[in-house]
């Protein structure tokens, strides 16, 4: 009887673990879908008090698998490349890290906030920012989702 109970408990524990892994995977996929789209905005100064202007005009195209960045300078477009990204939406603030593919591989460590059609992504090259603010070693992007 004890062995049977022990076996049932182990099976139940395994089922619960598989269920939570699947739920976490579904949650992450859901957030990746929410992030998908074309986003346009600025690398802003400070905490983004002026979200509609900044020193760099940016366009990000995000799919569930990749992220691509471009800088918009009037009529000139500078391609910053495409890469993979990882997210952890279960922590506060949620994490979004990107790695550019190709010969010159670069990584950015970041946090993000998604509210409606506004994406805030604060990133640093060597260290993950702890707050949404442009300051030494980190910059804050405030982007608006573009209509398809």
Nearest of 12, 3, 22, 45 to residue 134 by alpha carbon? 45
User: Which of the two residues, 113 and 12, has the higher pLDDT score?
Assistant: 113
Name the average pLDDT for the chain.
86
Give CA torsion, residues 109, 62, 92, 31, to 10 deg: -150
Three-state secondary structure along 37-53?
EEEEEEEECCCCCCCCC
Domains and CATH numbers, the chain: 36-145 (2.40.128.490)
Q: How many CB atoms lie within 10 A of CB 126?
A: 9
Lowest average pLDDT, out of 17-21, 113-117, 137-141, goes to 17-21
* pLDDT level of residue 1 (50, 70, 90 thresholds): low
The pLDDT of 97-112, averaged and rounded, is 89
pLDDT higher than 70, residue 9 = no
């Amino acid at each position: 009887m004890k062995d049977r109970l022990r076996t049932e408990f182990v099976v139940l524990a395994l089922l619960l673990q598989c269920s939570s892994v699947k739920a976490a995977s579904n949650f992450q996929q859901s957030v990746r879908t929410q992030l998908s789209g074309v986003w346009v905005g600025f690398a802003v100064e400070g905490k983004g008090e002026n979200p509609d202007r900044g020193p760099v005009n940016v366009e990000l195209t995000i799919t569930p698998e990749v992220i691509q960045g471009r800088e918009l300078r009037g009529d000139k477009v500078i391609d910053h490349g495409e890469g993979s990204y990882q997210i952890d939406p279960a922590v506060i603030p949620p994490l979004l890290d990107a790695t550019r593919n190709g010969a010159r591989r670069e990584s950015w460590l970041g946090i993000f906030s998604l509210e409606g059609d506004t994406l805030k992504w604060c990133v640093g090259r060597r260290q993950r920012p702890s707050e949404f603010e442009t300051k030494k070693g980190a910059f804050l992007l405030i982007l608006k989702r573009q209509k398809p």
